[in-house]
Structure 1
Amino acid sequence: MTRVLLRASAAVLLLLSSALIGWRVLGPAERLDTSPEPYPVLVVSAPGVLGRISVAPLIFNDRLRIYAAKHQLRADEPVYGRAVYTSRWSLRRWPEQLSGVVTTGTTVVSRWSDGQLVAQDGRTGKILWRASGPDAPDYAGHRTGAAAVWSPPGLRIAGGSVVVAEGHDLLGYDLGTGAQRWRIETPADCADGFTTAGGVVVCPVGAYDASSGQPVATWPAGPSTPLGCPVADSGCAGFRDAAGHGWLTASATPQRATALDRPEATVAAGVVVAAAGGAVTGYAPDGTVRWTWPGEARVLGGSSTQVLLFRPDHHLVVLDAATGDRRADVRLAFGKEDDLWEIGAYQISEHYLAIERRRLGGPDDPDSPIYYYTTDTVLLAGY
C-alpha cells in the first residue's frame, strides 16, 4: 500500500512539474530588455557594400537597425555592421504575433495580433506608452521580416498620429501619448492606404486629415498610386490619381505636378524623376527638364539630396538631386557574388540602403527554400 501511495504521489508531482514547465514555456509572457548604453553617433560610411544579413533591417535614424520576428522586436548596432549582432534592446510577447512596425523621430511603434500598440524609445527600448486597438493581422514577414518593417499591414504614421486600419475602421492615436484621437468608418477597406508628407491619410475612395480624421473634401478622386514613400507607405511625397494625374503632397492641399503624369515618374529627393528611353531625367513639377543622366536604370528613390538608381548590371548609381551629377557608383554584390537576383523589397535611408534579393527566375512563394537569392539575402550598402 505504501509503495502504491508513493508511486501515486510521484506521478502527481511529475504531472504538476510538467504543467508548471509547460506554463512557463507556453503561457502568456512578455519580456523587455532595454539598453543603458549611449546612443551611437552618426557614422557615414564611404560608398560601397557593407555586408549581407538574413533579416530585413528597419534602418533607424542611420544609427540602429530594427528587426521583426514572429514574437519579437529587437534592435542592434552598428547600422553599418556586416552581420547581425547581439540585441541592443528587445521586446518579446508570447503568444502574440508582431504585425508591423513604424518609426518617426526617436519613437518606434509596434502593432501586435491582439491589437496592442506599443511605443518605445528607439534609442533605449524603453516603453513610452501602450494602447488597445482592433485585432491586427498575424506576422507575415516570412523569412526576412521585410513585410513587417517595410510594409506593415494597416499601420501608417502621419501628422503626429499613428494610423491603424482594420477593414472599414480607421483610427488615429496620438504619437506622444497613445491616446485615441479619432475613429471613423470608411466606405472601403483602407488597410492598403498610404499617408502623405502633408499629413493626409489616403484610402481608395477618400482622404482624411491624419490629426483629426476629418474628410478632405477637395482631394482628387481615387484610387491613387503613392509615389516617393520613404518606408511603410508613410510620408509619401506624391501620388497619381485615378485619372493618371500627378500631385505633390508637401502640404495638406495637394499641388498639381504635370511631370508626374508620366507613368514611369516618381518623386525622389524633392525632384520628379523618370527613367525612359535610355536616360533618367529630373523634372520641375511643371515638366521643365532640370537635368538628364544618360543610361538605362530603375529609379529606386532618394534621400534628402540624392537620387538612387539601379542599373541593369546591378550597380547602384547615386546622383545629386539638384544637378544630376554622379556622386557614387557601387556594384551591389558582396565579394564575388554573381548577379543572378532581382530586387525584392528595400529601404532607403539618408546614407544607407538595405535591399532584399530574390532569386532570378525563382518561384513566387516566399516560403519556398529557393525564393531568396541566398541565406543572407539582404544586402547592405552605404553611399
Structure 2
Amino acid sequence: MRSRGGVWGRRRPAVVALVAVLVVAAAAVVTYRVLAPAEVLTPARADYPAPVRAATGVVGTLASAPLIVDGRLRVYATTRQIRADEPVDARTRRTPYWSYRRWPAELIGIVASGTTVVSRWSDGDLVALDARTGRIRWRADGPPPGHGYDGRRTGASTVYTPAGLIPATASGGRAVLVVIGGSGLRGLDLTDGRELWRVDIDGSCRAGALTTTAGQLVTVDACASPQVVEFHDVQTGRLVNRWRPEDAGPELAVAPVGCGNGGSNCPALRTTSGGSSRGWLLGRGEPTPMPLLDPNEVVLEGDVALTPSGNELVARSVREGTELWRRTGPGPVRIVAVQPGLVHLLTDAHELITLNSTTGAQRSSFPLVAGDEVVPWRPGFAYAADGFVAVERLARAAPSDAADAQFYAAPQPVILAAS
C-alpha cells in the first residue's frame, strides 16, 4: 500500500506550481487595474450655479490657476485631471463641481468657449466637456503634441497658454478649434468636434501660432530659409498667404497682441527679427504696419494702445494715434492683465489698480495682499475675466528652473481678486 506521504510528495510540485500561477495571475490583474489606460468622470450633482458679482478686493488664494468659464465656474488643470469648482468668489478651492481624469495620458492644454471646455492630452485625444454638467460633449483624435504636462504646480501655462490648441471664429461666424502637432494642422468644429480640415505638414516646423479676428491661423514656417509667416483660413485650412516684412532677417518670430486667451482672435501681432520688433494690424489682406505697437511693452485692449513708461501710462487710439488719456502715479506701474473695457495695473508695492481702458477713469484700487506671503514676490502668469483678476506670486529671486517649493512665494501661489 502506498503511503499518503508518498502521494503528497509526488503531488506537491504540481500544487506549488498551481499556486505560483495563481499568484502571478492575481498580480497581473492588480497591475492591469492600476496601470491600464482608464478615465474617471465625476459629473455635476448640483444645479448649474448663477453668475457671481463679488465685492471689490482680494477674494482669496488658490493652489492652482483658475480659468473662469461662463462667469460661473473655476476650472483647474493638473497633470492628469481637470476639475471645476464654484462659486467663482470662493476664498479657497472647493470640492469639485465636476472632474475628469485620464491615465496614463497627461493634460496638455484647456480652452473654453461658452459652456464647452476642451482638453488636449499627450496621446493626441481631444475631449470636450459640457461645463454645466461635466459630461463629455464630444471627443476626437488630434495630432499628438509630442510632450507631456508642463504646467508646474499651478497649471497656469496649461490653462492660459495651452500648447497647440487655439479657438478661432471663421468669417461666417462658426466656432473653430485649431490643433497643431507633429503631424500637422487640424481644424475642428468646436460645437461638435467634427473635423473640418487637415493640413499634413511637419508641425514641429510651425511656431508662434495664433488666430486672428479675420478668421485666419497665423504660424511661422521655422524650417524655411528665410523663415516666413503663413496664413491659413480657419474655415477651410487653405493657405491664403505667405508673408514676411521687407526688412526682416533670416529668422523671424511672431507674438500675439490684443488677443483672447491662448492667442485667440487677435487683432494684431508683433514680429521680431534681428533684435528689433514691429507691430502690425491684422485683416483679410496683408498685415498693416502700426509703429504705435512696435515696443514690446505696449498692450492693446480693443482699439486702445496702452504704453507704460516709468510712473506714467498713456492711452492712444491705435488707428488714429491720438492720445485718449494719460495717468501719472507716484511710482512705476506694470500692466498685468486686460479684459474688455478694463486694464489692470500692479505697482511695486503690490497695489492693484483697475482703470477704464477707454477713459482712464479709476474703477478700483486696493492692496493685492492676502497675508500669507513668506518672501517678497513678483508676478508670474496673470489672467483677467468677468471682473476677476488672478496673479501667480513667484519668489522674487528664484530662477526659472528652481523647484516649485522655491519658485513660488507661498503655498497657495495664486491670488484672486475682484476688481
TM-score, structure 2 length as denominator? 0.84
Matching residue within 218, 221, 231 for 2:261: 231
User: Residue 355 of structure 2 aligns with which residue?
Assistant: 319
Shift of 1:167: 4.0
Shift of 1:252: 4.2
**Would the aligned equivalents of 2:72 and 2:87 in 1 still touch at CA under 8 Å?**
yes
* Alignment-mate amino acid for residue 234 of structure 2: A
Shift of 1:191: 4.6
* Alignment-mate amino acid for residue 61 of structure 1: D
Moved over 6 A (4+): none
Task: Find the structure with the greater CA-based Rg.
Answer: 2
Matching residue within 29, 32, 48 for 2:38: 29
**Would the aligned equivalents of 2:374 and 2:410 in 1 still touch at CA under 8 Å?**
no
* Alignment-mate amino acid for residue 138 of structure 1: G
Are 2:159 and 1:152 aligned? Answer: no
User: Residue 67 of structure 1 aligns with which residue?
Assistant: 76
| Matches for 1:274-313 after TM superposition, within 5 Å | 274-285=307-318, 286-295=320-329, 296-313=332-349
Distance 1:194 1:367, change over 3 A: farther
Matching residue within 236, 246, 256 for 1:212: 236
Shift of 1:60: 1.3
Superposed CA deviations along residues 150-174 of structure 1, whole A, max 9, x for unmatched, are 1111111112211111247221111
Inter-partner Cα distance in structure 2 for 1:336 and 1:179: 47
Shift of 1:215: 2.6
Matching residue within 201, 211, 214 for 1:198: 214
Distance 1:151 1:366, change over 3 A: farther
Shift of 1:5: 5.3
Aligned length: 382
Shift of 1:360: 0.5
Superposed CA deviations along residues 318-372 of structure 1, whole A, max 9, x for unmatched, are 0012210111012111026377111111211121111111101112215342011
User: Residue 361 of structure 1 aligns with which residue?
Assistant: 397
Inter-partner Cα distance in structure 2 for 1:186 and 1:14: 48
User: Residue 109 of structure 2 aligns with which residue?
Assistant: 100
Inter-partner Cα distance in structure 1 for 2:278 and 2:176: 28
Distance 1:381 1:288, change over 3 A: same
**Would the aligned equivalents of 1:165 and 1:191 in 2 still touch at CA under 8 Å?**
no
User: Residue 148 of structure 2 aligns with which residue?
Assistant: 138
Shift of 1:317: 0.6
**Would the aligned equivalents of 1:273 and 1:281 in 2 still touch at CA under 8 Å?**
yes
Superposed CA deviations along residues 205-242 of structure 1, whole A, max 9, x for unmatched, are 21222222223438664632211233212223422245
Secondary structure, aligned partner of 2:214? coil
Secondary structure, aligned partner of 2:206? coil
Shift of 1:187: 8.9
Distance 1:283 1:186, change over 3 A: farther
Gaps of 5+ in 1: none
Secondary structure, aligned partner of 2:405? coil
**Would the aligned equivalents of 2:216 and 2:232 in 1 still touch at CA under 8 Å?**
yes
User: Residue 223 of structure 2 aligns with which residue?
Assistant: none
Higher relative contact order (CA 8 A, sep 6+): 1
Superposed CA deviations along residues 29-73 of structure 1, whole A, max 9, x for unmatched, are 111111142221111112211111111111212211111111111
